[in-house]
Homo-oligomer: A and B are copies of this chain.
Amino acid sequence: MARIVMKFGGTSMAGTERIRRVARIVQRQQAAGHEVAVVVSAMAGETDRLVNFCREANPLYDPAEYDVVVASGEQVTSGLLAMHLQALGCKARSWLGWQLPIHTDDAHSKARIEGIDSEALLASMGAGEIAVIPGFQGLTADNRVTTLGRGGSDTSAVAVAAAVKADRCDIYTDVDGVYTTDPRIVAKARKLKNVTYEEMLELASVGSKVLQTRSVSLAMKEGVRVQVLSSFIDDDAPAADTIPGTMIVSDEELEGLDMERQLITGIAADKNEAKVTLTRIADRPGAVAAIFGPLAAANINVDMIIQNIAKDKGETDVTFTVPISDLARTQALLEERKDTIGYYRMLANSKVAKISVVGVGMRSHAGVASTMFRALADRGINIQAITTSEIKVSVLIDEDETELAVRVLHTAYGLDGE
């Protein structure tokens, strides 16, 4: 017998038939002898509908009242799933964010979970009752509703799993696991049995939108074993234990599970970055700080940074990337500071893609980066920028070459399946 937290997203909860299907998947886990808690999202489209009402009410809406409005979507689906489970003969009840409670800070609309009171929850689960918990929502110290920000339900699920010391947190999504790369780009992409938290963080943050990054960080911090699997499995399929998706585990657990692992775990492509270049900046101390200080203050997340070798006159070009959604603000901020920074021209290009190869194996192996550069060069793909971390090498290329580059690298690192 294990204690399991299951999480279902908005697509899985969109309407009576789908919730009934979710109820059957949950029932199967309980029938297999497990203690079960379920974390649910709002019906697909519902949160957008509610957010829209808020924007119409007041473009500068009060985030505390926004939270009151949008938290209702998950309240509805948690009550409905409890009813569907009861219709199948299970004992079940909903536990709203304020009932447990799920304690958060008071950063309304993007709150962070500080702790979950698990005593009543554990007693209920221990008595054979399936606990249904709305994701996304929490409670401040002064008794007001909070939400965790879009996609926060993954984080809720991991936090509940940590609070009840679950053996596993199963995140049901519209994919059946984490792949070596996007199967829509590379038909030969393989589903991974295991990835480490750090690999998952790198893969998620560069575009494999399977899990919210924050939930993976929390799972890593709390040591929660997370499994990604499909909610569109056949109704008659056996319990999830026997049709595993991808398990996200610690480095240590991975070593025990998978000695013969590939050097590279996966390849991710991200088209959501834009490249900005400032030309002919004075090559002196403080110049770079004058650029990036204001961006940091404006909460703009700068990713890659390249400073070219200084040219004749003590001048240099600086190139960096920001999310496309922040490009306009970035340009406005730097335009304002043109004289302070002292650059000649600002160039922007959003037609770029960041391609990353990720794998914990590269820690102990040299040559990963040079394999990448050679494979891309052989196909005439030009590299505009490079960054590396301990378990990742990323390059910036022309957006039009994204799919080609992913396929070339997938083959170069021997990831192609049958």
Contact = CB atoms under 8 A, between A and B. Distances in A.
Interface of A: 16, 19-20, 50, 53-54, 56-58, 60-62, 64-69, 71-73, 75-76, 78-80, 82-84, 86-87, 93-94, 96, 98-99, 143-145
B65 A93 contact: yes
Contacts of A64: 93
The 6 closest A-B pairs by CB, nearest first: A68-B79, A57-B83, A69-B79, A58-B87, A72-B72, A16-B56
B19 A87 contact: no
Contacts of A82: 62, 65, 68
A64 B91 CA distance: 13
Number of identical monomers bound together in the oligomeric complex: 2
Contact of A58 (B62, B83, B96, B143): B83
Question: Looking at chain A's contact residues, is the secondary structure mostly helix, strand, loop, or mixed?
Answer: helix
A162 to B, nearest CB: 23
B68 A50 contact: no
Given A16-B57, A94-B68, A98-B98, A62 B75 contact: no
B58 A84 contact: yes
Contacts of A20: 57
A94 B227 CA distance: 39
21 contacts: A19-B57, A50-B76, A54-B83, A57-B83, A57-B87, A58-B84, A58-B86, A58-B87, A60-B87, A61-B83, A61-B86, A62-B82, A62-B83, A65-B82, A65-B86, A66-B79, A68-B79, A69-B80, A72-B73, A72-B75, A96-B145
Contacts of A94: 65, 68
Nearest to A143: B99
A57 B80 contact: yes
Contacts of A79: 54, 65-69
Nearest to A101: B143
Contacts of A87: 57-58, 60
Contacts of A75: 68-69, 71-72, 75
